[in-house]
Amino acid sequence: MPRTFTPKVVTANALLEGDAVWLTENNAWTRDIREAELLTDEAHADLRLLEAQARVDEIAGAYLADAKSGENGPEPTHFREEFRTRGPSNYAHGKQVELS
């Protein structure tokens, strides 16, 4: 039996910096998951993923990640995505510098 579709966001890694990025409703990449487009329709999510995967000059490894609606926008539902919202973990740069 097919699994029920759950809300998703399109995520990838920025090609030059390597940071985790999320696709917004206006087709921009953001480093803040709360600004991402929350996709609640499976067909629309599949289309948005295909559009993102075609942007090989900007990102690498686009995929759909489970998310939920939060007070300030989409929030991750899996520890892997929660970890990715904090930026690279090998030393403080990118998002980690901004959070310090």
pLDDT tens, residue by residue, 1-36: 778 999 999 999 999 888 999 999 999 999 999 999
Longest alpha-carbon distance in the chain: 46
pLDDT tens digit sequence for 55-84: 999 999 999 999 999 999 999 999 889 988
Which pLDDT score, from 0 to 100, does residue 17 have?
85
- Residue with token string 């939920």: 68
Check: CB of residue 18 under 8 Å from CB of residue 87: no
| Residue 91 clears pLDDT 60, i.e. is over it | no
Rg (C-alpha) for the chain, rounded Å, is 13
* Phi, then psi, of 15 in degrees rounded to 5: -65, -45
- Compare 98 and 11 and report the one with higher pLDDT: 11
User: What are the structure tokens assigned to 71, written together?
Assistant: 């007070």
Give the predicted TM-score (pTM) of the model. 0.85
